[in-house]
Amino acid sequence: MLLWINGPFGGGKTQTANELRRRLPGSVVCDPEHVGFGLHRMLPPALRGDFQDLPAWRQGVYEVLDLALTRHEGPVIVPMTVVDPAYFHETVGRLRERGHDVRHFALLADRATVLRRLRERGFGHAVRLVGGKDAPLRRESFAVSKLDLCLERLRAPEFAEHIRTDHISIPQVADHIAASAGLRLTPNTDSPLRGRLRRAWTGAKHIRFD
């Protein structure tokens, strides 16, 4: 089974994916961003646009996830924003046509909620100031520039199942996804402090400077 977690940039996809992996024995996270970052590194900086526009990204994501689903026995968890209906078909749609059990979830929230989360995610500002890097700022600006489009597109029926996340925690989002997919999670034993520290560490691991 593949759990595709969609949503706007800064909507909690990565945190939810890691919460599921932590509490779902045998599961793995396969992040399609890595394919995109690899393609970007092969291109001159002036040619690095939205990597989802590259046919090689969509084909690569399909092939890698097809391989993972065919060879790995446990659930495969994919945190990735895809809001273009054609690109959605080339990835999620083709995997379903291949016969894989793909459960898709779109994490939605009010615009103000997502903007607040993006600001909180931006504790990388301190790293940027020390390192003299501006990549995290570029990524946050990109996320804000795409926010309205993401929220509008993801409300469409083809991007269901929709989960409103404004007033529920990351563990509760994971619980909802697992219940909908018929999967059993191990209990969440984190205290509030431990949960915050865990999510902060997850966010730190996903700060990128390229």
pLDDT, one tens digit per residue, over 87-96 is 999 999 999 9
- The residue to which tokens 């749609």 are assigned: 93
Domain, as residue range, for 30 = 2-205
Whether residue 19 has pLDDT greater than 80: yes
3-state secondary structure of 105: strand
Is 33 part of any domain?
A: yes
pLDDT, residue 207, reads 55
Domain count, the chain: 1
Q: What is the pTM of this model?
A: 0.85
Is 148 part of any domain?
A: yes
Whether residue 125 has pLDDT greater than 90: no
In this structure, of 61-70, 141-150, 151-160, the range with the lowest mean pLDDT score is 141-150
In sequence order, the β-bridge partners of residue 150 are none
pLDDT, residue 203, reads 62
Backbone angles phi, psi at 22, to 5 degrees: -65, -35
Amino acid identity, position 141: S
Overall average pLDDT of the 90-117 stretch: 96
Is 210 part of any domain?
A: no
pLDDT, residue 208, reads 55
Tokens of 134: 């501006």
At CA 173, angle to CA 90 and CA 162, rounded to 5? 45
Alpha-carbon gap, residue 125 to 135, rounded angstroms: 10
Q: What is the DSSP letter of 167?
A: T
pLDDT, residue 210, reads 54
Overall average pLDDT of the 160-179 stretch: 96
pLDDT, residue 176, reads 98
Q: Pick from 168, 175, 171: which is nearest to 199 by CA?
A: 171
Whether residue 137 has pLDDT greater than 70: no
Residues 6+ apart with CB under 8 A from 169: 195
Overall average pLDDT of the 100-105 stretch: 98
In sequence order, the β-bridge partners of residue 6 are 106
Tokens of 1: 């089974």
pLDDT, residue 99, reads 98
Whether residue 131 has pLDDT greater than 70: no
Whether residue 122 has pLDDT greater than 60: no
At 59-81, the pLDDT tens digits run: 999 999 999 999 999 999 999 99
Domain of 14, CATH number, reads: 3.40.50.300
Residues in the chain, total: 210
Alpha-carbon gap, residue 57 to 166, rounded angstroms: 31
pLDDT, residue 130, reads 44
pLDDT, residue 194, reads 77
Alpha-carbon gap, residue 76 to 3, rounded angstroms: 6
| 52 touches 36 (CB < 8 A) | yes
Mean pLDDT of all residues in the chain?
88
pLDDT, residue 81, reads 97
